[in-house]
């Protein structure tokens, strides 16, 4: 069977990149169990994979992990030392871990290619990432964004949004779940597969129907309203139904961007469907998301370049003004002193000329460095200079 990474090969036969699957979902939706099942499935198919755990608070993982946030950050210590609650400590642990994102990417990139020192070790094809149950802590935090952006800038990345099907079968809980998924899709701007988990207990056929047929959802909504499922009085229930109805219409466009699969992580059903959906999403990542990511990266670079040019302009102005102010103390001298002062010797005029040459040379070097003709040392000295300027102005 084709691997999830098989469609991620770059153009003109470039080395195949592994696919990153990031599992997110509400607390208890079954993310860890799903990861365990996926890991076992890939192992059975002898597919080299790499497992990353980003949940610092998990007590015990039911699978072997290659890279574990708990090895570098002690969640309980973070809680004690910073006097934080559980969610604050998870967020701080993620922040601390994010400072090592370059190292993490280095490791992953090394594992994605053959190792000349260990030729028997196959390059990984799938990178599985488990995230904390507190979904907002990961998706809406700066560190979560940095981690996701960094992964997506190196590998095709797909979000697996896990839904507890047993808790999504009423129209209101279903809608809450879909709104969460929608916000994650638009926040991360990454392709998403919605995984209806625990289908050994509750079939997910209703969800598929509601996502593809508005009338079916409308009927279910009427049924819930008639049963007074929203529990409102004096028209409260009516308000809820009308809100859900409007949201369902609004989400129609969003549903069209999703791929949904039914899975039972406990029984192992639906995993092949999930991997097939990931393959589709990887194609979408390469065709749609990658160019968009490249465009955003180029935009950021352009902004940075403009900022540097602005700083250089300001610095040039400061330097030419500096030339004027260098003579300023002279102006404080009394007329008398000025008259008594002997005429400048030839030596002094040489110094002035040297200063002028130095300044011009310096300006030319800075300009060259900004125009990209810089050598490493010039760039370093320029950065040093800007730094000292900033410190001096503070």
Ligand X SMILES: Nc1nc2c(ncn2[C@@H]2O[C@H](COP(=O)(O)OP(=O)(O)OP(=O)(O)O)[C@@H](O)[C@H]2O)c(=O)[nH]1
296-307: burial string, b at 16+ Cβ within 10 Å, e else:
eeeeeeeeeeee
Q: In terms of CB distance, is 29 or 245 closer to ligand X?
A: 29
**Binding to ligand X (CB under 6 A): which residues in 123-142?**
133
Number of residues in contact with ligand X, rule: CB under 6 A?
17
**Tokens encoding 170:** 């009423």
Q: In terms of CB distance, is 33 or 248 closer to ligand X?
A: 33
Q: State which H helix or E strand residue 157 sits in.
A: strand 157-164
Q: What's the closest the beta carbon of residue 322 comes to ligand X, in angstroms? A: 59
If one asks whether residue 171 binds ligand X (CB under 6 A), the answer comes out as: no
Span near ligand X by CB under 6 A; candidates 84-92, 97-105, 196-204, 322-330: 196-204
Q: What's the closest the beta carbon of residue 385 comes to ligand X, in angstroms? A: 49
Give the separation between CA 194 and CA 262, rounded to whole angstroms.
9
Q: In terms of CB distance, is 200 or 311 closer to ligand X?
A: 200
Span near ligand X by CB under 6 A; candidates 3-11, 26-34, 106-114, 249-257: 26-34
Q: Which of 200, 280, 311, 374 binds ligand X (CB under 6 A)?
A: 200
**Binding to ligand X (CB under 6 A): which residues in 243-302?**
264-266
Residue nearest to ligand X (CB): 133
Q: In terms of CB distance, is 244 or 263 closer to ligand X?
A: 263
Give the separation between CA 194 and CA 23, rounded to whole angstroms.
10
Q: Which of 198, 259, 279, 281 binds ligand X (CB under 6 A)?
A: 198
Backbone angles phi and psi of 36, in degrees to 5: -60, -45
If one asks whether residue 157 binds ligand X (CB under 6 A), the answer comes out as: no
**Binding to ligand X (CB under 6 A): which residues in 27-56?**
27-33, 55
**Residues sharing a CB contact under 8 Å with residue 339, sequence separation 6 or more, in sequence order:** none
Q: What's the closest the beta carbon of residue 55 comes to ligand X, in angstroms? A: 6
Q: What's the closest the beta carbon of residue 225 comes to ligand X, in angstroms? A: 30
Backbone angles phi and psi of 259, in degrees to 5: -120, 130
Chain residues binding ligand X by CB under 6 A are 25, 27-33, 55, 133, 197-198, 200-201, 264-266
């Amino acid at each position: 069977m084709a691997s999830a990474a098989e469609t991620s090969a770059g153009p003109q036969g470039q080395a195949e990149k592994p696919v990153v699957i990031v599992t997110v979902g509400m607390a208890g939706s079954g993310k860890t169990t799903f990861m365990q099942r996926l890991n076992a499935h890939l192992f059975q198919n002898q597919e080299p994979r790499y497992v990353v755990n980003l949940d610092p608070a998990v007590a015990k993982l039911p699978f072997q992990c290659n890279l574990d946030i708990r090895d570098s950050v002690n969640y309980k210590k973070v809680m004690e030392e910073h006097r934080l609650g559980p969610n604050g400590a998870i967020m701080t642990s993620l922040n601390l871990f994010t400072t090592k994102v370059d190292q993490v990417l280095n490791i992953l990139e090394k594992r994605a290619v053959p190792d000349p020192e260990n030729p028997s070790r196959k390059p990984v094809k799938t990178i599985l990432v488990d995230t904390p149950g507190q979904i907002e802590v990961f998706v809406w935090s700066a560190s979560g964004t940095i981690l996701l952006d960094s992964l997506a800038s190196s590998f095709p990345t797909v979000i697996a949004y896990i839904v507890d099907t047993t808790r999504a079968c009423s129209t209101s809980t279903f809608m809450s779940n879909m709104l969460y998924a929608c916000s994650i899709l638009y926040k991360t701007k990454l392709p998403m597969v919605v995984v209806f988990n625990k289908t050994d207990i509750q079939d997910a056929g209703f969800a598929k129907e509601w996502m593809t047929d508005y009338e079916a959802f409308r009927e279910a909504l009427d049924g819930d309203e008639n049963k007074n499922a929203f529990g409102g009085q004096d028209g409260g229930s009516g308000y809820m139904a009308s809100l859900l109805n409007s949201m369902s219409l609004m989400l129609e466009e969003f549903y069209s961007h999703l791929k949904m699969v039914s899975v039972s992580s406990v029984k192992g059903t639906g995993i092949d469907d999930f991997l097939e959906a990931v393959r589709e999403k990887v194609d979408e990542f390469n065709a749609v998301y990658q160019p968009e990511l490249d465009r955003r990266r180029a935009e950021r670079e352009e902004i940075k370049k403009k900022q540097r040019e602005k700083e250089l302009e300001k610095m040039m102005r400061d330097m030419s003004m500096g030339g004027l102010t260098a003579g300023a103390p002279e102006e404080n001298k009394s007329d008398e002193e000025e008259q008594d002062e002997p005429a400048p010797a030839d030596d002094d005029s040489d110094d002035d000329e040297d200063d002028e040459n130095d300044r011009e040379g310096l300006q030319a070097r800075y300009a060259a460095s900004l125009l990209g003709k810089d050598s490493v040392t010039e760039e370093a000295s320029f950065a040093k200079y800007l730094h000292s300027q900033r410190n001096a102005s503070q």
